[in-house]
Structure 1
């Protein structure tokens, strides 16, 4: 239960002033920059808000929107809208916005960044736009932020940074297991580009089931507006599930009438789902136990012919660097990169015998068992971090 003001004073808990975000920051939308191979100017895009795994660089230009380490960044458009980053400097990409702190307020940037992380989901849930979600500026500006003393802000940020290090360690451990699986693939099947083992090479469309709608994109946005959503019914699967690789995530539903109308987009066990917009090329599989439902306009599905290819093997191929390069060559879009069903159909993949695919799957299963332990540790560290995050801004942490 949240403490009253009198209880806070009695328990020596700091009473925090609350200020609307519009009074303490200036919001500036990023712009698309010209990407170059080498530069001393970092090109910051959505992926950079999470980690530094894929550094990109921008050409110096007067049109660039630049940020410093004192600014806070927010993903403004797409499935990851509301994602927060800070302590970055460079050219801000067009799907991001920067929040510049007003000099009249004493605010530690890390504190503001951590606070806004607690609002990410709310901001994402209140986005506008059916096909491509956009942050509501008024929603963001009217967020009330508690402002303790600068010293308290720094202490809170330090505690949260320490807790974050633990969950980042667990994330890195999971990434190492993923790298081990990649190494196993290369050992068994070789480089898909050179194809030194001489596997048959086919296009994705040839490994799909012969049944109708075995390769299908989600419905047009006008067919699946938010006004059609209901509390319970048939689930709408979107990029949020695929990016997290977790089909149980999310709670958007349609009723039976709308489901039957969009039945060509329904999913079944073993279907491979692929994201098409923004964070494109992410892949997930519908498990044995799932909620009946359909894909949304930002996804496509492939029902594989299980007599020639395993769904999990197809997923692995579609996530490989070999396919990633093909997708990058074909992606298009101004504000946001986009791929489509036609592109995916024509992607080339190696097709080793099913017997060898099964052997690969058995070995992967052993690695996945170890990875599962790391994922459980990550879940615990994530819960700890989120608990501290919520307590921090109620004045209960320091």
Structure 2
């Protein structure tokens, strides 16, 4: 069965909040009213805001206080389409559209409708310097509206599927945390070095750092090479992402050493303060990918046996990432750069090879579990999206739903 569509503007008085003047400290100091921004819209239920405002801030601005059960939707910027349900009374800024409770719509049902339509919101907001969807767009946006009792049944089904998806994602976080905690347990903090491992500058164990070129074919150009060059974003997450690459000119013939290969350890020599020095291990890669000039790969001396996985986790540790940021140059918000000479002088702990390999063997076993969990995540995501599509088309069998 299909459900009738209704415009959001016919169901809700859609509104948004505002921002008290930052010039008046009394509007924020000792504030007790949660003030929600789009960056707070991470989870289904919003139980706290990242910032509070005072009664004076609320009274002397366009910020509004919304009741528990209000559904919030991000209208601006990178978070466009993010949504949450207030589990508290809270005010919002102007980037959050608010849908206050109504007898016609179950808040949890509306939340999942918004989740299902996130890409539609993103597409609608594209095109400007600052992506945004307008109040006018939201008022005319249509949603399927079954009877209230069916809305509740649909929300219950989707919540179960959503929890399975979240459990898989939580497991991924726990496995990554385990890799970090075991590293610290075995080797201690790399900065304070409580286990008194010997230290060596990278130049003592490195044969050389290999970089590539950042040539690129013109956009929309059809005559391109079979080879592609990585973007910096291929390593910024700490996990190698070969999809982050761009086309090369058709006549470019790359040097052999510029090719990215399995077991390479890559580091970003240039990026923002937070991302410069990002390091990742290549476990699998297409054969046609090349290094750009802003990524280096490590080539180690054969006389100093080591574990690449140990070096990856060492350079990815919080202490070493901070140190890599410290040795980078660049002012203000500009791109930071790590010079080859400074990186070569960087001192690192260097435990016995056997100890390094003990950690590598542990990590490889753990990685098998990570890969299996990624399959679970993919399946759970697919099931959740399929259920949402079927639910709003009236294709779910809801007779057994309590």
TM norm structure 2? 0.64
Which residue in the other structure is 1:363 paired with?
Answer: 362
1:17 Cα deviation (Å)?
A: 1.0
1:179 counterpart (177, 180, 186) = 177
> Which range moves more in the overlay, 101-110 or 357-366?
101-110
Which residue in the other structure is 1:71 paired with?
Answer: 71
Which residue in the other structure is 2:4 paired with?
Answer: 16
1:289 equivalent to 2:277? Answer no
1:343 Cα deviation (Å)?
A: 10
1:304 counterpart (298, 304, 313) = 298
1:161 Cα deviation (Å)?
A: 0.9
Sort the Cα spacing of 1:267 and 1:149 in 2 relative to 1 into closer, same or farther, 3 A. Answer: farther
SS at match of 1:392: helix
Sort the Cα spacing of 1:315 and 1:113 in 2 relative to 1 into closer, same or farther, 3 A. Answer: farther
Cα RMSD (Å): 5.6
Q: Is the 8 A contact 2:230 2:291 kept in 1?
A: yes
Aligned length: 366
Deviations 1:90-118 (A, max 9, x none): 6768xx93121277894333333322323
Written as runs of structure 1 = structure 2, the 5 A alignment for 1:114-125 is 114-121=112-119, 123-124=121-122
Which residue in the other structure is 1:149 paired with?
Answer: 147
Which residue in the other structure is 1:100 paired with?
Answer: 98
> Which range moves more in the overlay, 101-110 or 343-352?
343-352
SS at match of 1:87: strand
Q: Is the 8 A contact 2:72 2:96 kept in 1?
A: yes
Deviations 1:303-328 (A, max 9, x none): 22344775544442354333566689
Sort the Cα spacing of 1:179 and 1:379 in 2 relative to 1 into closer, same or farther, 3 A. Answer: same
| Separation (CA, whole Å) in 2 of partners of 1:202 and 1:327 | 15
Q: Is the 8 A contact 1:235 1:291 kept in 2?
A: no
Q: Gapped runs of 5+ residues in structure 1?
A: 1-12
Which residue in the other structure is 1:254 paired with?
Answer: 247
1:170 counterpart (165, 168, 171) = 168
1:386 Cα deviation (Å)?
A: 1.7
Sort the Cα spacing of 1:192 and 1:387 in 2 relative to 1 into closer, same or farther, 3 A. Answer: same
TM norm structure 1? 0.65
1:185 Cα deviation (Å)?
A: 0.5
Deviations 1:136-195 (A, max 9, x none): 426974754323333332222221111111122222233332232222111221022321
1:366 Cα deviation (Å)?
A: 1.4
| Separation (CA, whole Å) in 2 of partners of 1:22 and 1:231 | 51
2:317 counterpart (314, 320, 323) = 320
| Separation (CA, whole Å) in 1 of partners of 2:131 and 2:112 | 18
1:364 Cα deviation (Å)?
A: 0.9
Which residue in the other structure is 1:158 paired with?
Answer: 156
SS at match of 1:374: helix
Q: Is the 8 A contact 1:114 1:389 kept in 2?
A: yes
Which residue in the other structure is 1:8 paired with?
Answer: none
Deviations 1:45-86 (A, max 9, x none): 64761599xx874253637967855132438434xx446231
Sort the Cα spacing of 1:183 and 1:243 in 2 relative to 1 into closer, same or farther, 3 A. Answer: closer
| Separation (CA, whole Å) in 1 of partners of 2:37 and 2:258 | 35
1:386 equivalent to 2:385? Answer yes
SS at match of 1:395: coil
Sort the Cα spacing of 1:183 and 1:392 in 2 relative to 1 into closer, same or farther, 3 A. Answer: same
| Separation (CA, whole Å) in 1 of partners of 2:217 and 2:224 | 15
Sort the Cα spacing of 1:323 and 1:49 in 2 relative to 1 into closer, same or farther, 3 A. Answer: farther
Sort the Cα spacing of 1:200 and 1:120 in 2 relative to 1 into closer, same or farther, 3 A. Answer: farther
Which residue in the other structure is 1:135 paired with?
Answer: 131
1:19 Cα deviation (Å)?
A: 2.9
Which residue in the other structure is 1:7 paired with?
Answer: none
SS at match of 1:195: coil
1:228 Cα deviation (Å)?
A: 6.2
Q: Is the 8 A contact 2:77 2:131 kept in 1?
A: yes
